[in-house]
């Protein structure tokens, strides 16, 4: 009997050992956390669908690769290896020492600049992996101005800081100057314009200048004599006569202060800054492929009136175009003006006499031909030309928007840079 019991006991013991050896091992877990949290978790390259902090459960024992990612942040490192034991837990924590700036604007697609450098991104976008500190953020969208023009942003570790910009269409201010090469104040007016374009920091997206010539104090102005009809008609349009006391300057179709006499640089700046923020619903573009070929007398200009956001009612408004010499010299050295001149009107034409209404999101094309009188008989040597276009109300002569073909190819020569105290016209 004892022998049988021993055998039974051995069989029972063996069965227990066999049972223990076939039992499945307990699964393991990986605890994943990050600073900041909310990072997507990837396991062996696959998105788990979890955000930190989270537990990756029921993992077989073995080696795993865990990666985390969150927009605007760079974890260092962002990938770690984990050896999961059977029935055990592993903890992984990810950290970053950087922050981010989330940049948005009223209208998408504005270029984003960080500390004056192009980020290569457009709104909306997040500037990521930034060291804590203070940054300057600006945005730029063609034909738009931003409010504010710049934001100073304090980047904080592990945080996303917003930088929001309001965008609106820019109203380009048009100055029309009436002067004469022998006019005592004319050179000062022209010098103020040149100063604004250079040291003043303004460009042709802010304001445009057109110079019409007049017969006062004498009729020997070569620009006046080269195109009497155009110069006389523009003076009569504003003043009712071609014989006016010069210089005068018209801003947006209106005489500043009702006088129109010479205004100083500070007043010009005030008029530009005030005019640039006047609400408008459209902008103008112009292209004249043959404008720089000075041998061609007829200049063809294609104009686009773009209404990107809101409908625009331009009933009663005209679309006009002016051909200009951006830089020209004269054979004769005149009393006040010298022999170098800028922004000289050569021809003016109406592209549309009544524009009417335009739907939001529309672009309407126009074409106009401007004829440049031959400059040689008057001793004029032009260097380059451009076309200025503008929208003017027929009833009260007010101008609400301007544009031009001006770009980098129309840069002025070095000798043309002037100051408000004197210089070339």
Query: Residue ranges of the domains in the chain?
Result: 25-95, 99-168, 173-416
User: What is the CATH architecture assignment of 173-416?
Assistant: Sandwich (2.60)
In angstroms and rounded to an integer, the radius of gyration of the C-alpha atoms of the chain is: 36
**3-state secondary structure at position 168:** strand
Sequence-ordered list of residues with C-beta below 8 angstroms from that of 231, at least 6 positions apart, any chain: 212, 213, 214, 223, 224, 242, 345
pLDDT tens-digit readout, 289-334: 999 999 999 999 999 999 999 999 999 999 999 999 999 999 999 9
Give the model's pLDDT for residue 194: 86
Kindly give the interhelix angle for 186-197 and 265-276, rounded to the nearest 10 degrees: 50
Q: How far apart are CA 89 and CA 99, in angstroms?
A: 31
Per DSSP, 314 falls in state E
Contact 101, 160 (CB under 8 A): yes
String of DSSP letters for 177-201: EEE-TT-TTHHHHHHHHHHHHTTT-
Give the model's pLDDT for residue 23: 55
**3-state secondary structure at position 14:** helix
Give the model's pLDDT for residue 173: 97
Supply the CATH classification number for the domain 99-168: 2.60.40.1120
Contact 297, 308 (CB under 8 A): no
Give the model's pLDDT for residue 407: 61
| Residues with pLDDT less than 50, the chain | 1-21, 408-424
Main-chain dihedrals φ then ψ at residue 223, nearest 5 degrees = -75, -35
Paired residues of 362 in beta bridges: 307
Q: Would you say the pTM of this structure is higher than 0.85? A: no
* DSSP E strand stretches across 46-172: 46-51, 54-59, 62-69, 79-84, 89-95, 99-105, 111-114, 117-122, 125-130, 133-140, 144-147, 151-155, 160-169
Asked, colleague to colleague, whether 99-168 and 173-416 share their fold, the answer is yes
| CATH match of 25-95 with 2.60.40.10 | yes
Q: Using alpha carbons only, what angle is made at residue 185 by residues 181 and 189, rounded to the nearest 5 degrees?
A: 90
Per DSSP, 252 falls in state T
Q: Using alpha carbons only, what angle is made at residue 313 by residues 347 and 169, rounded to the nearest 5 degrees?
A: 75
Q: Identify the CA nearest to 395 among candidates 328, 331, 313, 318.
A: 318
Here the tokens at position 46 are 């696959």
Contact 349, 320 (CB under 8 A): yes
Contact 344, 223 (CB under 8 A): yes
Give the model's pLDDT for residue 313: 98
Separation in Å, CA 196 to CA 106, 123, 291, 402, 418: 29, 30, 25, 18, 9
Give the model's pLDDT for residue 257: 61
Token pair 């009712």: residue: 240
Q: Identify the CA nearest to 33 among candidates 48, 50, 49, 45.
A: 50
The 10 Å Cβ neighbour count of residue 141 is: 20
Give the model's pLDDT for residue 400: 97
């Amino acid at each position: 009997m004892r022998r049988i019991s021993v055998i039974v006991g051995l069989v029972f013991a063996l069965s227990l050992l066999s049972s223990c050896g076939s039992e499945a091992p307990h699964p393991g877990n990986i605890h994943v956390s990050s600073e900041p949290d909310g990072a997507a978790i990837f396991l062996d390259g696959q998105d788990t669908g979890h955000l930190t902090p989270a537990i990756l459960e029921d993992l077989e024992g073995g080696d795993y690769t865990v990666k985390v990612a969150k927009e605007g942040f760079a974890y260092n490192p962002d990938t770690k290896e984990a050896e999961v034991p059977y029935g055990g837990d592993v903890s992984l924590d990810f950290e970053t020492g950087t922050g981010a700036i989330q940049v948005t604007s009223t209208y998408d697609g504005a270029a984003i600049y960080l500390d004056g450098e192009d980020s290569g991104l457009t709104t909306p976008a997040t500037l990521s992996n930034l060291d804590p500190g203070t940054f300057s953020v600006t945005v730029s969208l063609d034909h738009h101005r931003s409010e504010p023009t710049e934001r100073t942003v304090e980047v904080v570790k592990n945080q996303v800081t917003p930088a929001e910009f309001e965008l609106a269409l820019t109203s380009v201010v048009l100055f029309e100057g009436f002067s004469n090469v022998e006019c005592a104040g004319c050179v000062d007016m022209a010098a103020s314009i040149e100063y604004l374009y250079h040291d003043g920091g303004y460009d042709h997206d802010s304001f445009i200048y057109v110079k019409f010539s007049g017969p006062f104090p004498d009729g020997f102005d070569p620009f006046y004599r080269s195109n009497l009809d155009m110069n006389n008609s523009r003076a009569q349009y504003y003043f009712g006569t071609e014989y006016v006391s010069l210089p005068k300057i018209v801003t947006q179709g209106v005489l500043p202060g009702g006088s129109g006499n010479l205004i100083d640089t500070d007043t010009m700046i005030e008029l530009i800054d005030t005019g640039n923020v006047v609400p408008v619903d459209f902008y103008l573009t112009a292209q004249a492929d043959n404008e720089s070929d000075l041998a061609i007398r007829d200049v063809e200009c294609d104009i686009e009136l773009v209404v990107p956001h809101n409908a625009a009612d331009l009933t009663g408004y005209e679309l006009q175009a002016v051909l200009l010499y951006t830089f020209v010299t004269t054979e004769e050295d005149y009393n006040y003006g010298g022999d170098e001149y800028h922004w000289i009107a050569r021809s003016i034409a109406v592209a549309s006499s009544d524009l009417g209404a335009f739907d939001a999101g529309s672009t309407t094309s126009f074409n106009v031909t401007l004829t440049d009188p031959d400059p040689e008989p008057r001793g004029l040597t032009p260097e380059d030309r451009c076309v200025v276009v503008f929208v003017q109300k027929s009833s009260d002569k007010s101008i609400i928007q301007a544009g031009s073909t001006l770009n980098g190819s129309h840069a002025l020569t070095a000798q043309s840079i002037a100051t408000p105290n004197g210089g070339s016209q």
